[in-house]
Amino acid sequence: MTTNTYGDLTPRQSGFSVAEFLKRAIPLLVIEKFGEQKPLPKNETKTIKMRRYYLTGGTGGYSGVTPTAGYNIPLATTALTEGTTPAGTTVDFKDYSVDVAQYGNWTGFTDFIMDTHEDYPAVVREFNDLLSEQAAVTKETLVYNVLKAGTNVFYANGSARTDVNTPITLALIRQVTRALKNQNTMKITSVLASTPAFNTQPVEAAFVCLVNPNVENDIRNIDGFIPVKNYAMGKAYEGKIGTVEDVRFVSSTVFTAFADAGGLDGDVVLSTTGTNADVYPLIFLGKNAFSVIPLRGMNTAQMYVVYPKATESDPLAQRGTVGYKFYHASIITNDYAMVRAEVAASV
């Protein structure tokens, strides 16, 4: 007796369904392509370790001590002495453990659709497409909720979220990038390609900033803003709207505001209730700021289709279902390689 774990799909059919699922979902995944990719290991513990390596002083080797702020790289400025082995540098690491969680959903269809629709398989495929979009936006939101909890924070004005009622400015962008550069944060030079595989594509070196569409107008009004269509080189990726100096801005409605969390709005910035400013967290990212299980590969997501059949709960075989499950985990692995800048948005 064989067991089919994909509903009424064979393993081969399920593999095709997952590929179609990923093809529709991946273009909606804006954030995860900028993180360090940690593919889900199969048949292992539910807790996954995200490990970060870096160099320290010491006498060489591999120690695993807690890193200092900024992960500064020690220099080898002492000239070698003939015939004498130098002390060497220690490769250290820090482990970040995070529990893998499973998310999923399903929707139903009826035998009536199967019996009367001229091309009912297309209906099932459309349900698959809609669910894949839901899965992608769900995953984006889960990662975003982790990133916006980072502790490295700048404010457009004042010293707390409750003060903020000012839009983003060039001066604020320069404050943020100066802080990242002083921590020796490397710029992002490659991103995960928009394919079901784990391929990467090179991009022009830059920091990346995640923004809500309501902030786009303020960014476009900054002196020196260059829209994507005017780029002389480099590839654009999903959500990218343009660049200011060495920051590339990426927009998505997933990057929501803290409603009415700022100062009095003065009728010049957006406010949910018209009293206090909505505060938009802009997430500036450098290389390897966070790690994530990507929505890539056959182990990460599964599709299920169950066609109507007579059962005790459905004796007339009237109901079928289409559903999905995926595994997810994400964590900040270098808080010094990212900044949250909290701003308001002009009306």
Sketch out the chain's domains with CATH numbers.
11-66+91-144+293-331 (3.30.2400), 153-288+335-343 (no CATH)
CA distances from 135 to 26, 61, 143, 185 (A): 10, 43, 12, 31
- Tally of helices (H runs) and strands (E runs) in the chain: 5, 17
pLDDT digits (tens, 9 = 90+) for 12-65: 344 445 556 556 556 667 788 888 777 666 655 677 777 776 666 555 544 444
Q: End-to-end CA distance of the chain: give it in Å, rounded.
A: 65
Confidence check: pLDDT of 148 > 90: yes
Backbone angles phi, psi at 262, to 5 degrees: -95, -160
Confidence check: pLDDT of 81 > 60: yes
With cut-offs at 50, 70 and 90, classify the pLDDT of residue 320: confident
Confidence check: pLDDT of 228 > 90: no
> To which residue do tokens 């004042």 refer?
158
Q: Sign of the C-alpha dihedral, residues 331, 335, 339, 340?
A: positive
Confidence check: pLDDT of 232 > 70: no
Backbone angles phi, psi at 103, to 5 degrees: -130, 155
pLDDT digits (tens, 9 = 90+) for 109-118: 888 877 776 6
- Alpha carbon 167 to its chain centroid, in Å, reads 24
Residues 6+ positions from 333 with CB-CB distance below 8 Å: 36, 50, 52, 94, 96, 288, 289, 290, 291
DSSP characters over 249-267: EEE-TTS--BTT-SSB-TT
pLDDT digits (tens, 9 = 90+) for 150-188: 999 999 999 999 999 999 999 999 999 999 998 888 898
Query: Which of these, 175, 184, 174, 154, lies nearest to 70 by C-alpha position?
Result: 184
**pTM above 0.85?**
no
